[in-house]
Amino acid sequence: DSAHRIYQGYLQLGNGYNRLGNQAEALENYFLAANYADSTGSASRLGSIYVTIADVYNMMDNSENALGYYRRAIDILRKTRDTLSLATGLANAGDFFYREGELDSALVYFEESGALFKILDYQLGIGYYLGSLGMIYAEQGRQEEALAKLYECLDILEKETDYYGIAAFLPFASNIYRDQGNFRAAIQTARRSLDVANKYGLKEQIRDANLLLSELYEQLGDSGEALKYYKGYTLYKDSISNVGLVQDLARL
């Protein structure tokens, strides 16, 4: 129907802007898509777009809005038969709690999402689930288990050609190598993340890989390389987490 096509149009416009790091334009289009989903009574579409809106706020470190939209999305999706969207919402909410340092809550969400992805035999979701376990294990000091899960995840993401996920999970492996004192492997892994992020224009991952490389070179006493990568981090940090932009979006 025409409303569905309009919804898809706004959704894809939002996705395009989001991948380019233009969060204001992305959210504006996502809100327009949400209006169409709501007006047509499609709970599945409304829940899905709320997950996406929450993801953008999470990326921008706007915790209050992110949590609010994750909760609304999951409540809506639990009442639908859209298992894939529910699993995705749970996984992304788990990532939110991980970033907030609430590991127990994160693990609850990750485990429920992983169980649903396995029921669906959705390989990409299973890959993200394994990577998420790797993140949790790393925080718990279970380094070898964490690396094993992360590389299981990366193998799946390579097969699925999901470069966003590859660039996002590699820094976790790099940090484990750093904690083990293996700086050569840490730098190699972080550079791989930066290369993938640069190739596909992934601003959030470019920011994170630059910061990690800056820290690694600083620890090695190479202030020149550390400064070079820190400048790269600052450039992308400012383009993603802009306080004025957050205020404008809150009004939106």
- The pLDDT of 197-202, averaged and rounded, is 91
- Residue 40 in this model has a pLDDT that exceeds 90: no
Q: What is the pLDDT of residues 140-192, one digit of tens each?
A: 999 999 999 999 999 999 999 999 999 999 999 999 999 999 999 999 999 99
User: Between 149 and 250, where is the model more confident?
Assistant: 149
Predicted pLDDT of residue 249: 53
Residue 16 · residue 27 · CB < 8 Å:
no
Predicted pLDDT of residue 87: 97
Residue 54 · residue 87 · CB < 8 Å:
no
pLDDT bracket for residue 19 (50, 70, 90): confident
- Predicted model pTM: 0.83
Amino acid symbol at 52: T
Tokens of 80: 């639908």
pLDDT bracket for residue 204 (50, 70, 90): confident
- The pLDDT of 118-142, averaged and rounded, is 96
Ranges of H-type helices in the chain:
2-19, 23-39, 43-59, 63-77, 83-99, 103-120, 123-139, 143-159, 163-179, 183-200, 203-219, 223-240, 243-251
- The pLDDT of 24-46, averaged and rounded, is 93
Angle at 4 between CA 59 and CA 64, to 5 degrees: 25
The residue behind tokens 């907030």 is 100
Predicted pLDDT of residue 235: 85
| CA distances from residue 5 to 2, 37, 45 in whole angstroms, order as listed | 5, 11, 12
pLDDT bracket for residue 14 (50, 70, 90): very high
DSSP-assigned letters across all residues of 31-91: HHHHHHHHHTT-HHHHHHHHHHHHHHHHHTT-HHHHHHHHHHHHHHHTTSS-HHHHHHHHH
Q: What is the pLDDT of residues 70-111, one digit of tens each?
A: 999 999 999 999 999 999 999 999 999 999 999 999 999 999
Predicted pLDDT of residue 243: 46
